Amino acid sequence: MAGSKKITIAHVAEHAKVSSATVSRVLRHPELVNPSTVARVRKSLSELGYSGIAGQPAAGTSRRTIVVNIPWLDNPFYGEIMRGVRVSAEAHGLEMLISWGSPDNVESCKRFCSMLQNCGAAGVIILCPLSAESLERISSTVPTVQCCEYNPETNIPFVSIDDREAARTAVEHLVSCGCKKLSIVCGPQVYKYARGRKEGFLEVIRAHDLVERPSWMLQIPNNNFGLAYSAICHMLESPNRPDGVFACSDTYAAAVIRAAKKCGLEVPRDLMVVGFDNTDTATMTTPALTTISQPRYDMGFSACNLLIERMDGSDSASSMLLETELVVRESTIRK
Amino acid sequence: MAGSKKITIAHVAEHAKVSSATVSRVLRHPELVNPSTVARVRKSLSELGYSGIAGQPAAGTSRRTIVVNIPWLDNPFYGEIMRGVRVSAEAHGLEMLISWGSPDNVESCKRFCSMLQNCGAAGVIILCPLSAESLERISSTVPTVQCCEYNPETNIPFVSIDDREAARTAVEHLVSCGCKKLSIVCGPQVYKYARGRKEGFLEVIRAHDLVERPSWMLQIPNNNFGLAYSAICHMLESPNRPDGVFACSDTYAAAVIRAAKKCGLEVPRDLMVVGFDNTDTATMTTPALTTISQPRYDMGFSACNLLIERMDGSDSASSMLLETELVVRESTIRK
């Protein structure tokens, strides 16, 4: 079949009368597949002359590259996700490059697609919040997967968490610790994560009939410690202040602890705080942070696996929401 | 001249009988150049048909891409450097991609060079500690500049700081605060920064005739909070412990503060700490960190400018050491 049209997993699936996912599994984990199916798929692979998994070129040829697009390089949240992506990419013989910045308007999205083409990207993982239009444009350029942030208006698969549910867990914990006047420190609402966490927050305070005060709902332009610190100081200096804060990142939670100290308040005695992400920051602060742990490594790893299935031609690759958990540390344990 | 060999700044310089740096300056900052020289250079540019600064292609053509190679993605140190690179790159119409991981052996260096070629990289900024051999190989593939880390055995230009001098400043500060039993928490000696800072540390303790105790000189495999924390706890629990720590990163310094708390020591009363980098971490800890501030944004910005000069064909681009400064905060101010 040398020189002919590239045979994809979808072709093999049709020929063997199985799903694309099954072909993928036979290639990667035959031990999980019924032996007669393995035999049938292998026969089709051989008859069609399937030339190997994407990103595993024959010896001597150069490795293919995937691009991961992240919104902020200086957010410690992304490091562990990238580690997961990289391990999966390396296992499949792929190079990984990181693109920093959101291609969030028509012009920058066109430039982004042109860059993907110029650098010969074999696929892309998007962590930026993008419009359906931008995502469709990117996805029609190279195989695309969304990670963490996702836009459910498209059919592009994603790996993420249930932000609303995770936020509910965090805020219910503050309520169970006796907090009655709750604040949220959140990121820009252009992010799905920010909208989801705010929804979860509001659901809990409404369910418990707690006060819903706009001046206690802070929205910070980005995951910036300094900006969050200033806004939180302002809130804590006012006569009527909250007794519990749900911070939508550990960076914000660290800013709450610092601002409390500045305002002469002791955490957790006068003010309790829950963070989000379980980055190193959560154990760098004094007191250490109660926080929501996200499976960041797993998200990156799974997103890359999903992308490889797409690159292999499978269109049955399905989205995933991974589990989070509450890690309780000093910032909510009253001595 | 369409279709002919690409005219570089070096050709223009030769033709106009000026240096490459002067041609570069005429293209970017003609206001800084003698008007008669500007006229002569512009005449040569026009006669040779010079087609524009690298990375500023004519309208309609696609933008060129530079690659920045960093050793650790999850080190907050790199964010601000990347910001500087990006601003310079955008100002010159270049795309920026980040490659994570050190191409530090022959095989990975070959793969790295092949990746640079495949993705059509127009230049590369290296922040990883590499052998002269690896650097020469990369530099013979695309124009190359070193940033932060550099190997002085090559002629490849770099932008960095004087680590020994900065360390001397930090350690002299601890001595001036009354510390007599000094410890250093350092990264792997494969890094020039780690060697330079350790040299500066030793120079100061020898100059003051202070005790030089191997068990107080900790070397951590990478900029990892958890690993540093364990090693520092072990040091602080022993009967003979230091009264001042020079930590070669804010992450290590945050680990010192956390470990001190675990061991029942109060910072700065029982133990003083100086960090390095002045990242957000330095104000997230309690007490806040005295630290050495590096001009991280400027380093990235200047490295990218230097790279663009190299891409323009100038080989007179010269290396730079930028200034650092000591920022004094709570971790060395006795109450």
Q: What is the pLDDT of residue A8?
A: 73
Supply the mean pLDDT for chain A. 90
Kindly tell me the burial class for residue A48, based on how many C-beta atoms sit within 10 Å of its own C-beta (0-12, 13-18, 19 or more). middle
Subunit contact B100:A120, Cβ cutoff 8 A: no
Q: Tell me whether the CATH fold assigned to B65-161+296-323 matches the one assigned to B163-294+326-332.
A: yes
Residue B141 distance to chain A (closest CA, Å) = 15
Give me the residues of A, 225-284, that contact B with CB < 8 A.
225-226, 229, 251, 254-255, 257-258, 261, 280-281, 283-284
Residue A34 distance to chain B (closest CA, Å) = 38
Q: What is the pLDDT of residue B61?
A: 52
How many CB atoms are closer than 10 A to CB A318? 10
Lowest mean pLDDT among A110-124, B50-64, B268-282: B50-64
Tell me if A71 sits within 8 A of A101, measured CB to CB: yes
* Domain boundaries, given as residue ranges, for chain B: 9-48, 65-161+296-323, 163-294+326-332
Structural tokens at position A101: 């910045």
Q: What is the pLDDT of residue B141?
A: 95
Contacts 24+ apart (CB under 8 A), B102-108: B102/B69, B102/B71, B102/B128, B102/B129, B102/B130, B103/B69, B103/B128, B103/B130, B103/B134, B103/B138, B104/B128, B104/B129, B104/B130, B104/B131, B104/B134, B106/B133, B106/B134
Strands B244-247 and B217-219, sheet pairing: unpaired
What is the interface size between A and B, counted as CB pairs within 8 Å? 128
Q: B65-161+296-323 adopts what CATH topology? A: Rossmann fold (3.40.50)
* pLDDT surpasses 90 at A131: yes
Q: Which residues contact A219 (CB under 8 A, 6 or more apart)?
A: A186, A187, A188, A189, A194
Q: What is the pLDDT of residue A5?
A: 55
Q: What confidence tier does B57 reach under pLDDT thresholds 50, 70, 90?
A: very low
* pLDDT surpasses 80 at A27: no
Q: What is the pLDDT of residue A45?
A: 80
Rounded Cα distance between B77 and A99, Å, is 18
Q: What confidence tier does A36 reach under pLDDT thresholds 50, 70, 90?
A: confident
Tell me if A299 sits within 8 A of A147, measured CB to CB: yes
Rounded Cα distance between A25 and A316, Å, is 12
Q: What confidence tier does B313 reach under pLDDT thresholds 50, 70, 90?
A: confident
Residue B114 distance to chain A (closest CA, Å) = 7
Subunit contact B286:A257, Cβ cutoff 8 A: yes
Please give the share of chain B, as a percent, with pLDDT higher than 70.
92
The string of pLDDT tens digits covering residues B136-145 is 999 999 999 9
Q: Which residues contact A148 (CB under 8 A, 6 or more apart)?
A: A81, A127, A159, A160, A161, A193, A299
Q: Which amino acid is at A226?
A: G
Mean pLDDT to the nearest integer, A256-279 = 96
The string of pLDDT tens digits covering residues B295-308 is 999 999 999 999 99
Rounded Cα distance between A45 and A7, Å, is 9
* pLDDT surpasses 90 at A263: yes
Q: Which residues contact B164 (CB under 8 A, 6 or more apart)?
A: B196, B197, B199, B200, B203
Q: Which residues contact B105 (CB under 8 A, 6 or more apart)?
A: none
The owner of tokens 């072709």 is A11
The string of pLDDT tens digits covering residues B197-245 is 999 999 999 999 999 999 999 999 888 899 999 999 999 999 999 999 9
Q: What confidence tier does B28 reach under pLDDT thresholds 50, 70, 90?
A: low
A315 vs A106, which has greater pLDDT?
A106
On whether the A163-294+326-332 domain is CATH 3.40.50.2300, my answer is yes
Please state the CATH superfamily assignment of the domain spanning residues A65-161+296-322 in this structure.
Answer: Response regulator (3.40.50.2300)
Of B73, B111, B117, the CB nearest to A82: B73
Residues of B in contact with A114 (CB under 8 A): 62-63
Question: Strand, helix or coil at B68?
Answer: strand
Q: Half-sphere exposure (CA, 13 Å, Cβ side) for A140?
A: 8
Strands A244-247 and A272-277, sheet pairing: parallel
Q: Which residue of B has its CA nearest to A81?
A: B74
Residues of A in contact with B96 (CB under 8 A): 99-100
Rounded Cα distance between A35 and B71, Å, is 44
DSSP-derived letter for residue B304 is H
Residues of A in contact with B76 (CB under 8 A): 74, 76
* pLDDT surpasses 80 at B54: no
Residue from A118, A141, A329, A331 to probe the interface with B (highest B Cβ count within 10 Å): A118
Residue (of B234, B239, B181, B167) closest to B209 by Cα position: B181
Subunit contact A98:B98, Cβ cutoff 8 A: yes
Rounded Cα distance between B194 and B185, Å, is 10
The string of pLDDT tens digits covering residues A76-85 is 889 999 999 9
Rounded Cα distance between B281 and B108, Å, is 33
Residue from B70, B80, B97, B109 to probe the interface with A (highest A Cβ count within 10 Å): B97
Q: Half-sphere exposure (CA, 13 Å, Cβ side) for A308?
A: 30
Subunit contact B65:A118, Cβ cutoff 8 A: yes
* pLDDT surpasses 80 at B23: no
Q: What is the pLDDT of residue A90?
A: 92
* pLDDT surpasses 70 at B60: no
Q: What is the pLDDT of residue A1?
A: 36
Mean pLDDT to the nearest integer, A21-49 = 76
Q: What confidence tier does A2 reach under pLDDT thresholds 50, 70, 90?
A: very low
The string of pLDDT tens digits covering residues A269-278 is 999 999 999 9
Rounded Cα distance between A100 and A231, Å, is 27
Residue (of A277, A273, A281) closest to A293 by Cα position: A277
The string of pLDDT tens digits covering residues A58-91 is 344 568 999 999 998 878 889 999 999 999 999 9
Rounded Cα distance between B173 and B243, Å, is 13
Supply the mean pLDDT for chain B. 90
Give me the residues of A, 92-151, that contact B with CB < 8 A.
95-101, 111, 114-115, 117-121
Structural tokens at position B144: 């190359």
B218 vs A224, which has greater pLDDT?
B218
| Radius of gyration (C-alpha) of chain B in whole angstroms | 23
Rounded Cα distance between B110 and B104, Å, is 10
Residues of A in contact with B111 (CB under 8 A): 63, 95
Tell me if B220 sits within 8 A of B252, measured CB to CB: yes
Subunit contact B80:A95, Cβ cutoff 8 A: no
Residues of A in contact with B67 (CB under 8 A): 97
The owner of tokens 């991961």 is A68
Structural tokens at position B289: 């960190």
Subunit contact A284:B281, Cβ cutoff 8 A: yes
Q: Which residue of B has its CA nearest to A255?
A: B284
Q: Which amino acid is at B53?
A: I
Q: What confidence tier does A258 reach under pLDDT thresholds 50, 70, 90?
A: very high
The owner of tokens 């990419």 is A89
* pLDDT surpasses 60 at A166: yes
